[in-house]
Structure 1
């Protein structure tokens, strides 16, 4: 479950990794808003859209919003499978590769006509990933090189709720730590000596300043 806030006219994007054989169920709920009129209603006040790793549309659904609590529940996607690309169903065909699936949640601009625009409306997004990850089909090339597929870092980023830039920064930090850790005992000793020198210089510096 993910909690956020929205204002009229805004669209927020979220992503979730799906591995081979997994399915995604999702729902979005807008809480009550601060009303500026006794009554108001906007057709398409809440819209939820789902996209594949290649940004192909899978499904979308919208409902009207009158300032009171309202929600949308989407049907589960089919299990991610290579053969889905040959399906005739537009909601099945795009679910043909493992990777990041994207969710767009939009609050209609007309909602501003009867609600307080300065006060954001709480949004609750629920994502339900089911299914045991299956073996990937044999590709000639690398899925990761093409920007697809799911790995341990993707799962970690999803569990921690990291954005794409945050996940990239975390991966870079882990890479640097692996390089330092793999450099060997001698380098570790050298680092300790250098750090010790910094501490010594720091102490001397403080002493000189105090004098």
Structure 2
């Protein structure tokens, strides 16, 4: 009787396992049927305002370049803020052999009133006050508050700012005078991400490459894949070659990153879809490109009348160390491998003429060139991985993948013997059957014999 009762219990466990498998089968099939680039998790959360780097240290800028200025360590990220017409100093220590990069991103409030010439200026100077470099970033024709980034740097081998010691970063807020000045009185948040690049172990060419294909490539065609963007440099979504689609509301900014190896090059364009309404908005869409240390490479914008329209970045040379010896900013800034950032902004001015949207934006990203080994550095950059990309990122550029690993995970699931839904069910049932048999055997062994 015990044997018959045990067999009946075993049959019940089989039936229960089968029912569980049938319940889970749709979810398993859905996981296997995910399209390329689609993560297995739920839909991404609704993007918010600018996302600062996690763990960024808050510092306060000083009024003068003295020892009281907050210190900045290359490789770390900092938060600060600047008042209207403010001038703030920060300090950092540099060795004689490293090139330093100090990008500053200004984030005005979403409801700030700005003019085309408003923005920030960033400069780096030595302890004697000698300027090493300066750069500015302004809001432009879109008249729309958005994150803008300017980069100050100290290059080794130049006539000025050489040697080890203390250097000062000066951040200046640029505000136009006039009727809107009172509305611009609020503080703007800042994100500061200093980085350093070591010198080379062996001397290389000191002239920029003379030849490269500067012709504008044909825009990519094909079915666009959904790819919502991030809301800051540290949350930028990875893109490979392909056609990508998202939606933005007026005033929103989204961040993407395209990993580029040494010898590879990038071309990108943005399409703004049509919308009902009549009128004209200048600078309705802005597409900007930044290098791995957030240095400006190129940007483009488009005016909008409600009809679909495109804007494309200028052709860029392949990533090479020697590009730094060129004169044009679009060449000298493409000087190292790593993540190149595409930043898309939709002007808040669109809402008054064409409504709150959302508006469809399509990015067309083309990569090319031949990857090769980079230069041999004499030390380590800060942060360590700023000029390198992973093997997974390299593959995503070549295949058009997202770079987040979702394609690789899905392909591994499907590739193991060409797993289909029926095979999955059999595997699940088999696993539960083995487990149930083992549990039944353990239970029988523990029962006393009659």
TM-score normalised by the shorter chain: which range applies? 0.7 to 0.9
**Which residue number corresponds to residue 389 of structure 2?**
150
Count of residues paired in the alignment: 175
**Which residue number corresponds to residue 71 of structure 1?**
310
Using structure 1 for the length normalisation, give the TM-score.
Answer: 0.72
**Which residue number corresponds to residue 7 of structure 1?**
249
1:201/1:149 CA distance change after superposition, 3 Å: same
1:142/1:202 CA distance change after superposition, 3 Å: farther
Q: Any gaps of 5 or more consecutive residues in structure 2?
A: 1-242, 410-430, 441-450
Instruction: Give the alignment of 1:94-133 within 5 angstroms.
Output: 94-117=333-356, 119-133=357-371
Give how far 1:108 is off: 0.8
Q: Between Structure 1 and Structure 2, which shows a larger proportion of helix residues? A: 1
SS of match in other structure, 1:109: coil
Per-residue Cα deviation, 1:39-78 (whole angstroms, up to 9, x for no partner): 2211110111000011000011112112211110112211
Q: Any gaps of 5 or more consecutive residues in structure 1?
A: 174-194, 205-211
Give how far 1:124 is off: 0.8
Give how far 1:89 is off: 1.5
SS of match in other structure, 1:91: helix
> Which portions of structure 1, spanning 4 or more consecutive aligned residues, are displaced by more than 6 angstroms?
201-204
Find the aligned partners of 1:60 and 1:83 in 2 and give their Cα distance: 22
**Which residue number corresponds to residue 418 of structure 2?**
none
Give how far 1:155 is off: 2.7
Greater alpha carbon shift after TM alignment, 143-152 vs 74-83: 143-152
2:399 maps to 1:161: no
Using structure 2 for the length normalisation, give the TM-score.
Answer: 0.35
Find the aligned partners of 2:340 and 2:323 in 1 and give their Cα distance: 15
Find the aligned partners of 1:61 and 1:29 in 2 and give their Cα distance: 12
Find the aligned partners of 2:307 and 2:282 in 1 and give their Cα distance: 13
Instruction: Give the alignment of 1:85-96 within 5 angstroms.
Output: 85-96=324-335
Find the aligned partners of 1:131 and 1:52 in 2 and give their Cα distance: 17
Structure with bigger gyration radius:
2
Find the aligned partners of 1:155 and 1:104 in 2 and give their Cα distance: 21
Instruction: Give the alignment of 1:31-46 within 5 angstroms.
Output: 31-35=273-277, 39-46=278-285
Per-residue Cα deviation, 1:67-114 (whole angstroms, up to 9, x for no partner): 211110112211111011222211111100001100011111101011
Give how far 1:141 is off: 3.4
